[in-house]
Amino acid sequence: MSKNQVNNVFHQDFKIKPIDRQKRLNQKPLLIWFTGLSGSGKSTLANGTEQRLFQNGYHTFLLDGDNIRKGLNKDLGFEKEDRNENLRRIAEVAKLMMEAGLIVVAAFISPYRKEREMIKELVGEDRFLEIFVDCPLEECEERDVKGLYQKARKGLIKNFTGIDAPYEAPQKPFLQLPTSDWSKEECLDKIIGSIKEKITWIA
Ligand SMILES: Nc1ncnc2c1ncn2[C@@H]1O[C@H](COP(=O)(O)OS(=O)(=O)O)[C@@H](OP(=O)(O)O)[C@H]1O
Ligand SMILES: Nc1ncnc2c1ncn2[C@@H]1O[C@H](COP(=O)(O)OP(=O)(O)O)[C@@H](O)[C@H]1O
């Protein structure tokens, strides 16, 4: 679409506002964003976090790299530009889900600081909780959950994060979880303990 066409698109106001939906669901929307290397534990912890919230009555949705890349973003690869477009679309989807009142849990490598900043700005700083799933490359490679590191080392996959593509660790994340030292349950206890205050509805 050309710039001209974008200029001819107008914002529509809805009668039902986000605040109405928040009151109905009795919760404040949030984006809980897991970032880290492949195999660091993002999906495991994002799933566990969603399960615990859901079982406690919260309205949630989980967005995960592999699944989104098989559907909405199946036209994108792993070049820097593609990763950025991947995350831009996901951020917009997460924003819509938050407007619907949901607590969104997201698990993406999201290797570039600048893109994570973009997501924070888009959804609002106070509603974006960045969780750094911190696991050394050596341990991720040893886990090699999907056999991708082995393929990357053999040169069968290009631009693999940590091997021949960068990962920029967060400098001031909301939480940093050393998954090579802490168990999954320890990490989940820390997450739930830290976000409890943020998700309680204050009328
Ligand atoms: N080149 C390369 N680099 C990194 N990861 C790769 C690559 N090729 C395929 N995969 C698989 O894609 C999953 C990561 O997708 P994401 O959407 O999270 O990546 S990104 O945020 O756009 O960087 C990632 O999932 P996780 O292992 O859960 O992180 C891999 O299964
Ligand atoms: N503390 C931990 N938190 C999360 N996963 C862990 C932890 N300790 C070990 N693991 C294991 O590490 C692997 C992480 O895989 P996964 O969650 O798919 O990572 P990612 O989504 O980052 O690629 C799983 O096999 C999981 O059982």
pLDDT tens per residue across span 11-31: 888 999 999 999 999 999 999
The residue whose C-alpha atom lies closest to atom 11 belonging to ligand 2 is 41
Burial class of residue 83 (count of CB atoms within 10 Å of its CB; 0-12, 13-18, 19+): buried
ipTM above 0.95, yes or no: yes
pLDDT higher than threshold 70 for residue 71:
yes
pLDDT tens per residue across span 128-167: 999 999 999 999 999 999 999 999 999 999 999 999 999 9
Average pLDDT (24-47) is 97
Measured in angstroms, how far is the CA atom of residue 176 from the centroid of ligand 2?
15
Confidence (pTM): 0.96
CA distance between the termini of the chain: 42
Give domain 17-196's CATH architecture: 3-Layer(aba) Sandwich (3.40)
Active site residue 194: no
Q: Given this model, what pLDDT does residue 77 score?
A: 97
Does ligand 2 come within 6 angstroms of the Cβ of 143?
A: yes
Question: 37 labelled as ligand-binding?
Answer: yes
DSSP conformational letter for 102:
P
Question: 155 labelled as ligand-binding?
Answer: no
**Where do we find the tokens 């492949």?**
38
